[in-house]
Structure 1
Amino acid sequence: MNKLSIKGNWNEKKGKLKQQFSKLTDDDLLFIEGKEEELVGRIQKRLGKSKEEVQELIRKA
């Protein structure tokens, strides 16, 4: 996962993910630069998906 693609488009991606998955909260989607793995872990735990599935969801959002 490219850090810049998350950082640059994160607000847009976050909105799309929240529309797709109503279970996700703002806290789940809190992006802190350098802590991408933590973000993926929070989403993974909330949605019950694998790391690879979550990374793909973020890429496609």
Structure 2
Amino acid sequence: MMKIHTTTAPFSENWCEQKERLLDRFAILNETDLLYIDGKKDEMLDKVRKILGTTQEELRNILKK
């Protein structure tokens, strides 16, 4: 069974907070796009990157802010 994280920080900070900032900043994103599942972080980030039309480096910079 897969664990779905809602409060664990897969990145440098609490993912719930980061996700809310992304949703506020990018209206094109939705909750499903930002669903974090154990072992699927890279796939989720690649999906977000494609939706936003950014490079991996640009997405990393967005996530650092």
TM > 0.5 between the two?
Answer: yes
The count of corresponding residues between Structure 1 and Structure 2 is 57
In proportion to residue count, which structure has more helix? 1
Structure 2: stretches of 5+ with no match in the other structure: 1-8
1:2-32 Cα offsets, whole Å, 9 max, x none, are xx55285100000000111010011110111
Greater relative contact order (Cα < 8 A, sep 6+): 1
Counterpart of 2:36 in structure 1 is: 31
Aligned identity (percent) is: 35
Q: Which has the larger radius of gyration?
A: 2
- State the superposition RMSD in angstroms: 1.8
Structure 1: stretches of 5+ with no match in the other structure: none
The reply on whether 1:16 has 2:21 as its aligned counterpart is yes
Length-normalised TM-score, structure 1 = 0.78
